[in-house]
Amino acid sequence: MNNLKLQGLIAAPFTPLLSNGDINIGAIPAYYELLKQNHVAGAFICGSTGEGVSLTFDERVAIMQTWAETTLQDKDFKVITLVGGTNIKECCLLAAKAEEFGLYGISFTSPFYFKPANIDQLAKCCAEIASAAPHTAFYYYHIPVLTGGNFAMIDLLKAVDGKIPNFAGIKYTHEDFMDYLSCLNFADRKYDMLWGRDENMLSALVLGAKGAVGSTYNYAAPLYLALIAAYDQGDFEKANTLQQKSIDMITLLGKYGGISVGKSYMKLIGLDCGEFRLPVRNMTTTDFEKFKADVAALDFQSFQSTL
């Protein structure tokens, strides 16, 4: 494996669903065009935002295949898929499918039922899944707030270094900046450390982050591209202001119910992805009207992604 480091914004797409709850793979080409038009560098599919844990095996295969076929001629656009967490056998089958379809990368998050007892057990899981797709970049997905797998990632890198040839890096969705920096610097900055907290991007840029994976890049990519540009130009006041705008936008997710609110943002930019599956709560019609007013107060139109 080469040690390619992904740069820029990698969106975590929502899985488009029809009104009856079935997946709407027909919407994926338009979704890809939206991301490309807004200068997004790739897609991390079937993750938390993409409801990977709520999809069947066959649905995930269909989504992977459609994204692969849609982006086949675009070698600059990298597609990574989450292959799961709890069922290692199924993770391996999905990993093999991802390699068959030619996706750039696969990702795996800590099993949350049953949980690995220690970092060595987690490393064994990574090794088994990575070996099922040996020619595909493997990223561990660190999101302990959802998995409970609250291990130090520097310990995982030490455990896998030199033992998993296609281990490319970590999607780091946690606020432990000390651990993140240690991972970034480990083994002469060998591994790709993709930042996963949109609301903390500026802090990660200071530490040296170059690539980021996030859900709000689906509908507000221009905001983050402007933030990165301001930081690169040394305009820290502007970068600060833009990060606060990101925080204000993300705060509305908490106000209106959490992760499903992202699909409401998508409706506002003109790409209806349906609703989230149970057990996630979706916004009521009344709340959606209140939400639209709050979004307008943010001047969302000035930094939203455009179709």
Instruction: Please identify which residue in the block is written with the tokens 């295949």.
Output: 65
Catalytic one of 97, 171, 245, 263: 171
For 138, residues 6+ apart whose C-beta sits below 8 A from its C-beta are 105, 106, 107, 108, 126, 129, 130, 164, 166, 167, 168
Rounded CA separation 175/269 (Å):
29
- Tell me the β-bridge partners of 214: 11
- Tell me the β-bridge partners of 43: 11, 79
Buried b (16+ CB within 10 A) or exposed e, 31-40: bbebbeebeb
Rounded CA separation 11/217 (Å):
5
| 191 included as an active-site residue | no
Return the number of other C-beta atoms located less than 10 Å from residue 197's C-beta. 18
Catalytic one of 104, 139, 141, 265: 141
The answer to whether 50 and 12 have CB atoms below 8 angstroms apart is yes
Rounded CA separation 98/39 (Å):
24
| 256 included as an active-site residue | no
Q: What residues are labeled active site?
A: 141, 171
